[in-house]
Amino acid sequence: MTAAPPIVEVHGLSKTYAGAERPAVDNVELTIARGCIFGLLGPNGAGKTTLMSMLCGLLVPSDGEIFLNGQPAAPALWRRIGLVPQDLALYPSLTARENLAYFGGIQGLRDAALARRIDFCLETAGLTTLADRRVDTFSGGLKRRLNLVVALIHEPELLILDEPTVGIDPQSRHFIYDSLRRLNSAGLSIIYTSHYMEEVERLCDELAVIDHGHIVARGTMNDILNRVPSGGIVLRLDRDLPERGRSALAALPGVERTEFDGHTVVIESRTPEATLVQALALVREAEAHVLSVSLGAVNLEQVFLMLTGNSLRDPSA
């Protein structure tokens, strides 16, 4: 039995904007398996949006190849993609049902087929009882839910989401998580990008990190998390440590690296348990108080910062 081709495969993909000194996306190689929820992470200006825009056919690559479902990308295949943009793509003066009917019509749906998909999308978004209310009366969370299902109206094989939970309440965020899991269980392939690391860690099977136009890490969630040693200590204090205290922490036996970011202290040690006891004593000597302690915990945000750095980025730079 022949294995199904990847939902997305790109080779040597590059994009340089007119007048730019360097490519926004530079010689990217990436394969995304069918049926997974794939996370795409990167700082501002790293190339995420450019890469997604090329996958959707919104931008023409400067170089390279894109294959969708094993075939060279072309307009007929781009219609199998649903895109959920970060900015709301809705008509506020129309009802939820009218928005879905309009976007379904653009995708060529008519009559019974359109009515069936509208009903499915309203149910998926939990908006059936609100179907005939104008969108400008909706809360931010309801608008985000409608924004999601507009991208599902034509029954795509691949759903691409760009920051789909920006600025919404926790209840709506959890509703979107659950909806995406159900859609994925039914066979929908998903590419998910977010600055909320806990979302990606919670939802995604695999992920890639892009920075300065290059893929700097790629693998399963466990592969990525295992890139950081587990001998880490994170202390959150009520004040900054003085320079004397910082030097003493860095000089403790077994300590390989220290990082001080405001009131947060990060220590990497070959002997983390012993180092923690000594570090707490040094903090007390400095007359600082510990608000929280993390020992050996590694999360996606820690790995992301290790790979891309702590500095703020100017997307236009």
Judge whether 307 lies within some domain.
Answer: no
- Cβ neighbours for 55, distance < 8 A, ≥ 6 positions apart: 8, 10, 66, 68, 73, 81, 160, 191
Same domain, 181 and 40: yes
Same domain, 182 and 293: no
Q: Which two tokens stand for residue 310?
A: 């702590």
Q: Would you state the pLDDT for residue 246?
A: 94
Q: Which two tokens stand for residue 119?
A: 């009903």
Same domain, 260 and 145: no
Instruction: Tell me how many domains the chain contains.
Output: 2
Judge whether 34 lies within some domain.
Answer: yes
Which pTM was predicted?
A: 0.80
Instruction: Please say if the pLDDT value at position 314 is more than 80.
Output: no
What mean pLDDT comes out for the span 249-259?
92
Which among 186, 221, 256 is the end of a domain? 221
Total Cβ atoms within 10 A of residue 80: 14
Per-residue pLDDT of 11-63, as tens digits, reads 999 999 999 999 999 999 999 999 999 999 999 889 999 999 999 999 999 99
Judge whether 89 lies within some domain.
Answer: yes
| Residue length of the chain | 317
Q: Would you state the pLDDT for residue 313?
A: 52
* C-alpha to C-alpha distance for 144 and 168, rounded to whole angstroms: 8
Which among 164, 199, 221 is the end of a domain? 221
Same domain, 213 and 262: no
Judge whether 163 lies within some domain.
Answer: yes
Q: Residue 3 — φ and ψ, nearest 5°?
A: -70, 145
User: Beta strand pairing status for 37-41 and 206-211?
Assistant: parallel
Judge whether 237 lies within some domain.
Answer: yes
Judge whether 190 lies within some domain.
Answer: yes
Which among 221, 251, 275 is the end of a domain? 221
* C-alpha to C-alpha distance for 308 and 14, rounded to whole angstroms: 20
Say which range, 27-36, 61-70, 71-80, 114-123, has the weakest mean pLDDT. Answer: 71-80
Same domain, 211 and 248: no
Q: Write out the residue range of the structural domain in which residue 80 sits.
A: 8-221
What mean pLDDT comes out for the span 294-305?
77
- What is the domain-level CATH number for residue 194? 3.40.50.300
Judge whether 213 lies within some domain.
Answer: yes
With H, G, I as helix, E, B as strand and everything else as coil, classify residue 81: strand
Q: What is the mean pLDDT of the chain?
A: 91
